[in-house]
Amino acid sequence: MAKTILEVENLSFRYDIRQEIETLQDVNFSVNRGEWVAIIGHNGSGKSTLAKLLVGLFIPEKGRICIADIEMNELTKWEIRRHIGLIFQNPENQFIGTTVQDDVAFALENINLSYEEMSLRIDEALQTVGISNLRLFDPSRLSGGQKQRVAIAGILALKPDILLLDEALVMLDPRSRRELISTLKQIKSKDNTSIISITHDMNEVAEADYILVMKEGRVVNRGTPKQVFSNNTMKFEYPIVEQLRRELIKHGKKMPDKYMTEKELVKYLWK
């Protein structure tokens, strides 16, 4: 049975307590170890506010957040941040060091790891994201995809249970995005790391195990990609494979009447 790593119960929040309307209203969900959960919704739906609550930048007005069996509050948020790492949309917001390896080492120095342990973690993190050859480079001079790999390596070196990506791939070109999604899938499989991705990219969402759809601070739909993308009332752009399936139906091709993954679609078309 899968072990729960994150529980969110009856979560509500507003930036100004004088306002009647809450930014988040009664949000409930959980994430298991090794699970990829995508959170989608239009601008203003509360996604980024939720991300800030999950890492303890805000404290909820109501409800609770529990990560690795620790309930979030002002006293525990520093301990909880060892279990969850946030990766921003712009990786340059996270750069501290003048070289890639110095940047990855920065957070490890803050938790007083020994030099030997730091070296091992830096080597492992850089190898995992495929940039060992860039360790002596200035991170600010790298390409967009390489910069985001440095940011991910810096978080991975801390060995968190959860990677939280807040539109982390949105600024990348399609090739870099595909490569990083592949890397994240490997990290998830190899280390049983949970991933929460907040994104507008439906092709990224299609890689998730589970999807939460947010609107005006509430979770209005949830389910597997097959369940969510089979909903004809969804007001989002569908992933490329689902767009193709629907176009083939429009042009008279007999196709299954439900969402298909890329592998399923290719297999079906080759029959």
Query: Model's pTM, two decimal places?
Result: 0.86
Asked whether residue 145 carries a pLDDT value surpassing 90, the answer given is no
Rounded percentage of the chain residues whose pLDDT exceeds 70: 97
Asked whether residue 232 carries a pLDDT value surpassing 70, the answer given is no
The pLDDT assigned to 265 comes to 86
- Six-digit token string for 19: 């306002």
The pLDDT assigned to 1 comes to 61
- If you count them, how many residues does the chain have? 271
Task: Tell me the pLDDT band of 136, cut-offs 50, 70 and 90.
Answer: very high
Asked whether residue 127 carries a pLDDT value surpassing 80, the answer given is yes
- Six-digit token string for 119: 């070296």
Mean pLDDT of 155-178: 87
Asked whether residue 263 carries a pLDDT value surpassing 90, the answer given is no
Within a 10 A sphere around the Cβ of 253, how many other Cβ atoms?
A: 10
Cα separation, 238 vs 159, whole angstroms:
33
Cα separation, 168 vs 250, whole angstroms:
34
207 and 165 Cβ atoms separated by less than 8 Å: no
Cα separation, 83 vs 231, whole angstroms:
34
Which neighbouring-strand residues pair with 29?
8
Mean pLDDT of the chain: 88
Cα angle 89, 91, 180; round to 5? 75
Task: Tell me the pLDDT band of 244, cut-offs 50, 70 and 90.
Answer: confident
Q: What domains, with CATH codes, occur in the chain?
A: 4-229 (3.40.50.300), 238-271 (no CATH)
147 and 173 Cβ atoms separated by less than 8 Å: no
8-30 tens-digit pLDDT: 999 999 987 777 788 999 999 99
Mean pLDDT of 33-60: 92
Instruction: Name the nearest CA neighbour of 176 among 210, 218, 130.
Output: 130
What is the rounded radius of gyration, in angstroms, for the C-alpha atoms of the chain? Answer: 20
Mean pLDDT of 135-157: 89
CB-based contacts of 3, cutoff 8 Å, min separation 6: 32, 33
* C-alpha dihedral (53, 188, 6, 74), degrees to nearest 10: -40
Residue that wins the pLDDT comparison between 199 and 89 = 199
- Six-digit token string for 65: 């957040």
Q: Which of 43-57, 67-81, 83-97 has the lowest mean pLDDT?
A: 83-97
